[in-house]
């Protein structure tokens, strides 16, 4: 009897000891888990903490994969956009030469024929020249050696000198001098050395589209009315053809050549009018920026700076603006009056003022504006 009691007591002591040991181990595991959690949280905050972090920074971080995808898609589809511009422009030129030019030579007076031939070919030459130069001309990039430039910042993406008005293009993955934007229709950045070519192409393309839309308005109305008559006659002929044999079916009222002619005129007018509206708005926007002496990127930067200084009772002055008229002369490279003909109205590959690394006063500026912030 006593031996059984002793055995039972020994078993109970062993069971209680195991329970205490298991409880200690469980508490120890919980403490280790808490310590690991606090340690990981501290490491994460030490690596990612930023006193300037706000909701905008968090959203930019979340949308970073989307930005990466857009940049790479734009980079690879740039060739497609350039091919599309060339093909659409070539189709319009082909329609003008095949359909409109013979009609102009037959019906217009000699004075109007000379006007259309002179203006049309001049406009076409200016479009082709400036588009080719905008594509093939490098916008300009700062040197990689840090000893070549003094007093400039360092780009945090490519770790290279970043002169004034220089910005990093995420699509080209390089810094661009006086960067305005990356244009997918050029498959190239618009910067210091090709900004004039880009704007001139937009301007002359808009002028050419407006010229085609105005000149072809009467032809468009006639062609559209002819197409409507074609559709009406087709509807009337279908019931008649159903009751006749193959050999009794009358020939079509409009030939294939007539159909192609009318549809080509409608295509030309619709495409030119659409491009004139869209590209015309873009051209006016860039004309306003050039008048203020700033780029698309600088417009947003200057707007924020202007608002910040306005709260302090100060006035912001753009240090790169010399007045509306002088800004246009600097942009177009007009130093003397004859340059309005040789450099603006005729194709000219002249370089812009300055190297894009420093911004000294151009010689064509009549008077120097205040380049500092005024109270």
Q: Which residues are catalytic?
A: 183
Residue with more model confidence, 362 or 73: 362
**Can you tell me the mean pLDDT for 18-30?**
61
Tell me if residue 360 falls in helix, strand or coil: coil
pLDDT class of 149 with cuts at 50, 70, 90: low
Helices (H), 195-255: 195-215, 217-242
Most confidently predicted of 242-251, 311-320, 321-330 = 321-330
Record the tokens describing residue 16, joined without a space.
């209680």
Of the ranges 68-72, 91-95, 124-128, 284-288, which one carries the lowest mean pLDDT score? Answer: 68-72
Share of the chain above pLDDT 70, in %: 75
- According to DSSP, the residues that pair with 162 across neighbouring strands are 153
pLDDT of residue 68: 66
Instruction: Grade residue 257 by pLDDT with cuts at 50, 70 and 90.
Output: confident
- How far is Cα 352 from Cα 140, in angstroms, rounded to an integer? 11
146's enclosing H/E stretch is none
Provide the token pair at 197: 């070519």
Query: Which residue, among 338, 324, 314, has the nearest Cα to 366 in the 3D structure?
Result: 324
Average pLDDT over residues 206-222: 93
What whole-number distance in Å separates Cα of residue 250 and Cα of residue 247?
8
pLDDT at 76: 76
* Cα 203 to Cα 131, 140, 210, 290, distances in angstroms: 11, 22, 11, 13
- For residues 354 and 195, give the distance between their C-alpha atoms in angstroms, rounded to a whole number: 13
- Split at pLDDT 50, 70, 90, the class of 372 is very low
Domain ranges of the chain: 62-238+254-359
Going by the DSSP 8-state scheme, the letter that residue 153 receives in this structure is E
Q: Is the pLDDT of residue 19 over 60?
A: no
Arithmetic mean of pLDDT over the chain: 83
**Mean pLDDT value across residues 271-280:** 96
- Looking at residue 25, what is its pLDDT? 59
- Six token digits for residue 202: 């937009």
Q: Do residues 141 and 177 touch, judged by C-beta distance below 8 A? A: yes
DSSP three-state, residue 208: helix
- Give the confidence band of 43 by pLDDT, cuts at 50, 70, 90: confident
Hey, what's the torsion of the CAs at 334, 317, 374, 315, to 10 degrees?
Answer: 150
In this model, does residue 37 exceed pLDDT 60?
yes
Per-residue pLDDT at 313: 87
How long a stretch of residues is the chain? Answer: 375
CA atoms within 13 A on the CB side of 131: 20
Q: Check: CB of residue 290 under 8 Å from CB of residue 199.
A: yes
47 alpha-carbon distance from chain centroid: 35
Predicted confidence (pLDDT) at residue 373 exceeds the cutoff of 50: no
> What is the per-residue pLDDT for 375?
29
- In this prediction, residues 105-116 reach a mean pLDDT of 91
Tokens encoding 178: 């006086």
Quick check: 128 pLDDT over 60? yes
């Amino acid at each position: 009897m006593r031996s059984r009691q002793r055995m039972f007591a020994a078993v109970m002591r062993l069971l209680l000891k195991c329970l205490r040991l298991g409880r200690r181990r469980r508490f120890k595991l919980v403490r280790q888990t808490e310590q690991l959690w606090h340690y990981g949280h501290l490491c994460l905050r030490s690596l990612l903490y930023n006193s300037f972090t706000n909701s905008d920074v968090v959203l930019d971080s979340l949308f970073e994969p989307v930005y990466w995808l857009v940049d790479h898609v734009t980079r690879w589809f740039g060739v497609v956009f350039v091919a599309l511009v060339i093909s659409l422009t070539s189709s319009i030129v082909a329609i003008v030469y095949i359909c409109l030019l013979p009609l102009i030579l037959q019906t217009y007076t000699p004075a109007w024929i000379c006007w259309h031939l002179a203006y049309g070919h001049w406009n076409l030459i200016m479009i082709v020249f400036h588009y080719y130069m905008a594509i093939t001309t490098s916008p300009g990039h700062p040197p990689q050696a840090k000893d070549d430039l003094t007093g400039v910042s360092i780009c945090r993406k490519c770790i290279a000198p970043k002169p004034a008005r220089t910005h990093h293009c995420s699509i080209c993955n390089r810094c661009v001098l006086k960067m305005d934007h990356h244009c997918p229709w050029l498959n190239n950045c618009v910067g210091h050395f090709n900004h004039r070519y880009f704007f001139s192409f937009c301007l002359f393309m808009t002028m050419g589209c407006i010229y085609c839309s105005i000149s072809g308005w009467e032809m468009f109305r006639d062609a559209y009315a002819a197409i409507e008559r074609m559709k009406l006659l087709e509807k009337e002929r279908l019931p008649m053809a159903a009751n006749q044999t193959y050999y009794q079916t009358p020939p079509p009222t409009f030939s294939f050549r007539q159909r192609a002619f009318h549809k080509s005129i409608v295509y030309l007018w619709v495409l030119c009018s659409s491009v004139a509206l869209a590209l015309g708005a873009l051209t006016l926007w860039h004309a306003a920026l050039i008048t203020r002496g700033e780029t698309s990127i600088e417009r947003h930067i200057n707007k924020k700076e202007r608002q910040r200084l306005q709260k302090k009772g100060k006035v912001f002055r753009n240090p790169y603006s010399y007045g509306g008229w002088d800004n246009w002369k600097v942009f177009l490279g007009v130093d003397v009056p004859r340059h309005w003909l040789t450099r603006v109205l005729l194709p000219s590959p002249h370089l812009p003022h300055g190297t894009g690394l420093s911004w000294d006063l151009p010689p064509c500026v009549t008077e120097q504006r205040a380049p500092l912030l005024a109270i």
